[in-house]
Chain A
């Protein structure tokens, strides 16, 4: 085994080598996609290589699991007790409350709850949250990786810096640049709000920093000194595009350090979607690339909840995206550019970071792979070029930015990866979070009225209602509560412990068949502050 592998080895957590390959590896196999129409295709972002499937488990099982999706077929011995379930659900939960000054929270954000539940091992989703220190506002984002977690990890570390820098006024950029130049302490740009499990790569920090510095140097040079107003929408778009560009460039240039060299390649060859919210006072911008979603929870006057979608999914369900793709490529590719609702028949999201296989020319891909490290070269997947690959790039990281001016009735924002949205309707998501946050189940009180009810019937009814209630109070975190519902809801919309237990006790290699990684951030808004903003004007 070549030396670089060993270097790279200890950094992969809980994971044997074969899995690293398998997660990095993808290849097209029409067969499976066609054969399992009732297995929602969204289940698997990439269609797995049949060889891999056969390698991992007997083929019969595979069919049983994918087609049946019957819970009875899962091994019974994995049942968990409620405390075990809770410890799994709560392992990644994180809450942040915006500190109060003088007993008042002057921010329009009260705080946020976030959590994630892995289905892949290791999880490919990432999340980030940070407060901008040199400008106002708070950044929150969820990132759904595919073909490995390298790209989502890199994006989660770097994107907010790109956004923050894009938002900085010229003077601040100069100040920062001067500080770096003279070796003085840098102004802090972001204050991160991280769960202990959310890590940053130490090895690549220098590399990332240099790329970022180049970016702000260009911004300084480009500045004409005229426009002082920074447009958030433009800043978001620029940051997204720039980061994706840097990822691509870093992979092309390579790095003398073989570990870093391999890392930048993995980042570039894997992919990630991003859904980022920037909240500053009543101004809420959502930049979305891919199929994660931002949903606003609005409380109507009668106390009921309604959902307002603040992002568009970039996938085959979005007609505008389909048209965009068709327009960007010659007419003769119209049929091949999206096949089986996937980009080139392969990729579910139509926009993403990384994924250079959908961006670079064939020549470039071949050149990089040949000059790349042996692990890259040895493996079969690297030689694979997407079919019908005529006019790259097919993929972009450019986000679609939506703006929303917050109103007092806008109580919270849910950012979540598609793992949540494919299991729950947006209306249910908003209702569950809303009821959780207001601490009340809007359960109608029972009245016997003139009906004939026996004590036993009443008892059964009450026990059921209590079970429903107790699930609300079990969680201290809105995101955890949502995950509990997403995974454990039975057909009546109530959390079914047995189901929850079964879903969570699935062995690692099966979990992905039943659910995707779920990452959720629930941002709570401060209606008083929002109302005050409104009154000012």
Chain B
């Protein structure tokens, strides 16, 4: 019904763009489209004629690539795109998502003018309602970030809400966020407009053409097999929406694209007696789990229910497609919520309940980027019900990625390589998306963890630690302890520690931190990605010298902290590398680098060398012994002197611990505190752990978790890759010049960029902020993404934060820019610029005074300085 209406609307429009567009003609001319033979070759083949595929085609053609073929199995814009509710909203939780949505909004706004195709774009604005104070805090945080991006938005009172929307019941509201420039649009028409513009730029579009599989030779895309013949190509873009997973698996060497569809319902009504104005704002009532927009004088309302119905778990299934019907019983809670919000709608007549499956990903963020295993295989899918909002930005970034090799923004959070094959189990996806879909409208509090799809990868000590009260978080499928609940603590209270304020584990983490400072703690850090690179000759050293910025030609047994940089000097990875022997290196990277780092190394390694790269993550259990007494514990267990004289800092030695031999002991702790990392072959893990705990008893040993670790490293001003560091930050921008050896005697990736930056100065600078007037007990805690103000002007955002138990203050880390007051252009940031400023951090609309520092407080920390001035290692990967 909806589609029919849509097509009627479409037919009423006469647009010149349609005539010279081979595929999107009405059904009578479809036969004609069939007869057109596919080209034998193209540079790029895009699979999927939805809003994502057309957006990628549009942006690629804008960037000058012309030899593009877009294939659609059915009709253009006839999948989820057709059913999309058509809400363009910038109220997103991630900055990158806000940027994509903002760009999409601007794109849609001018698209009608550009193409002459009506897209139904109406700037209605959107109002996100808060029924609780916590929800309001969440909205205020989004509001702060929207404002610094130049997107107008404000927090408004319930009374104002009632003025903006005539039908709303506002009695149970505590506030709302109004984003006046948000819009509604017909997403199918946007897709058609994008396709039309792309085809004018030379993109060839073929509908009713099904991609069977992608042809890969030597890990490189060479062509596409379709039901109408083969096309040779260099690039393939998988924009197949909910079928992207299956399409990825159809390859001979499967490409894992973890996403899964769930049924999604929305209601369409007939017009109200006095039809709603077309500019009536869109309402998002997340606490009521619904969204409501005006639609042809009536309303369109859907939501994200608590009990989603996953679908197509076993792939495309005709029976399931036929059964995609209105399920009113399932919609009942959302309908109740709608009538509670707009009681006057009781008498409004129903037109239809639409069931349109939407695609969700395991971490609620979309998937883009190149496959880690197949070069030239790009993906853009898994939009978590926000396809329209992201379409423009995501298409643009992916096009840039393909044309320039990297997008103009850091998109690591959305990169396909954050996932591996371990997230591709159908069971895992089915279970996880059932959690993800309701989460879209759940309150997102700091430090939430997924509950489903857990306990996939665990350390051999998991059960032991769990029995001792460990509370777990998950990273890349690996369970990591957050903190250990003492036996006398009330567990029930702890499980419900969802708050924007001081969490109830505060005291627990404090005692763990204190123990790290005064005695010794053990943290299971087995999740880290561990690679070994070995060669017969000097090839290993040579390739590493080329890939890493620090000098790796160090004596055997030394550890080097170094970045793996890209051409522009940005961090692709940040790791610690130990030279095990002349020809063998042991490389430790953050947990979620497993796929990315591997593919980067593979990509840059000579194909037929004698280099052996091995992923040994699973072979070792890592225990981190932090604290001044770690020395005593280890020497007692090994009968070997462990003092700095015998075992200097950043040193690695294979030795025996207890009965177990061959333990790689490294004098580093990733925190700047004294101590050791033990890399233990897994069969010895339990033995070594037991011995350490037994012997450590008299030194006051205890278990600790990642929260303690984080507090320790943030107060020491250590940046984490993945949160503070990304592909767009260089070592110079975060004060790590000393880890770059520009003159190490050979070239390395990113050297030119760094040399240039060294000459010109940096445009942003990693800075540590100590919150001054922040009351830990009463004020909202910082998380990340809070705007930083210098002398009242916005200069950047925080990237991470933690409470420092040493300073007894909150510490935030973040980047300071220097935007020109006149033009807004970025200018060079000097130490002077940083030091001569009054800073404030905006937490959910409240600004706290902060002191900026470019170097950590060395005087505060009493332990001996050793080899390096400070041991700067730091990847937590959070």
Contact = CB atoms under 8 A, between A and B. Distances in A.
Interface of A: 443, 445-448, 452-456, 458-459, 461-463, 465-466, 469
B335 A458 contact: yes
29 contacts: A443-B329, A445-B325, A445-B326, A445-B327, A445-B328, A446-B326, A446-B328, A447-B325, A448-B326, A448-B328, A448-B350, A448-B352, A453-B350, A454-B349, A455-B335, A455-B338, A455-B348, A455-B349, A456-B345, A458-B328, A458-B335, A458-B350, A459-B332, A459-B336, A459-B346, A461-B328, A462-B329, A462-B331, A465-B329
A454 B348 CA distance: 5
A443 B332 CA distance: 15
B346 A454 contact: yes
A462 B352 contact: no
Contact of A445 (B267, B329, B336): B329
B333 to A, nearest CB: 9
A463 B336 CA distance: 9
B379 to A, nearest CB: 36
B350 A446 contact: no
- Interface range on chain B (Cβ under 8 Å from partner): 20 to 34
A499 B68 CA distance: 70
Contacts of A446: 326, 328-329
B325 A459 contact: no
Nearest to B328: A446
Nearest to B335: A459
B584 to A, nearest CB: 50
A456 B339 contact: yes
A443 B329 CA distance: 10
Nearest to B345: A455
B353 A448 contact: yes
A466 B330 CA distance: 10
A252 to B, nearest CB: 64
A258 B265 CA distance: 75
Nearest to B353: A448
Contacts of A462: 328-329, 331-332, 335
A453 B352 CA distance: 10
A455 B269 CA distance: 9
B347 interface: yes
Interface in B350-369: 350, 352-353
Contacts of B348: 454-455
Interface in B248-271: 267, 269
Contacts of B339: 455-456, 459
A169 B348 CA distance: 76
Contacts of A458: 328, 335, 350
B329 A456 contact: no
Contact of A454 (B326, B332, B338, B350): B350
A409 to B, nearest CB: 26
Nearest to B267: A455
A454 B328 contact: no
A446 B331 CA distance: 11
Interface string B780-823: 00000000000000000000000000000000000000000000
Given A445-B329, A446-B328, A455 B350 contact: yes
A453 B349 contact: yes
A447 to B, nearest CB: 6
By Cβ-Cβ distance, the 7 closest A-B pairs, closest first, are A456-B346, A462-B332, A446-B328, A453-B350, A455-B345, A455-B348, A454-B347
Given A462-B328, A462-B329, A465-B329, A452 B336 contact: no
A113 to B, nearest CB: 27
Contacts of B347: 454-456
Given A454-B349, A459-B339, 9 more contacts: A445-B328, A447-B325, A448-B326, A453-B349, A454-B347, A455-B335, A455-B347, A462-B335, A463-B332
B14 to A, nearest CB: 32
A455 B345 CA distance: 7
A200 B551 CA distance: 88
Contacts of B326: 445-448
B327 to A, nearest CB: 7
Contacts of B352: 448
Contacts of B350: 448, 453-455, 458
B329 A466 contact: yes
A494 to B, nearest CB: 15
B346 A455 contact: yes
Nearest to A452: B349
A456 B346 CA distance: 4
Nearest to B336: A459
Contacts of B346: 454-456, 459
Contacts of A454: 346-350
User: Which of A447, A453, A454, A461 has the most chain B CB atoms closer than 10 A to its own CB?
Assistant: A454
B407 to A, nearest CB: 44
A454 B338 CA distance: 13
A182 to B, nearest CB: 54
Contact of B332 (A445, A447, A466): A466
A95 to B, nearest CB: 27
B662 to A, nearest CB: 43
Contacts of A448: 326, 328, 350, 352-353
A447 B331 CA distance: 12
Nearest to A448: B350
Interface string B534-566: 000000000000000000000000000000000
A318 B181 CA distance: 80
Contacts of A465: 329, 332
B328 to A, nearest CB: 4
Contacts of B349: 452-455
A123 to B, nearest CB: 39
B456 to A, nearest CB: 27
Nearest to B347: A454
**Most A C-beta atoms less than 10 A away, residue of B325, B345, B346:** B346
A456 B332 CA distance: 11
A461 B269 CA distance: 17
B337 to A, nearest CB: 10
A448 B332 CA distance: 14
A454 to B, nearest CB: 5
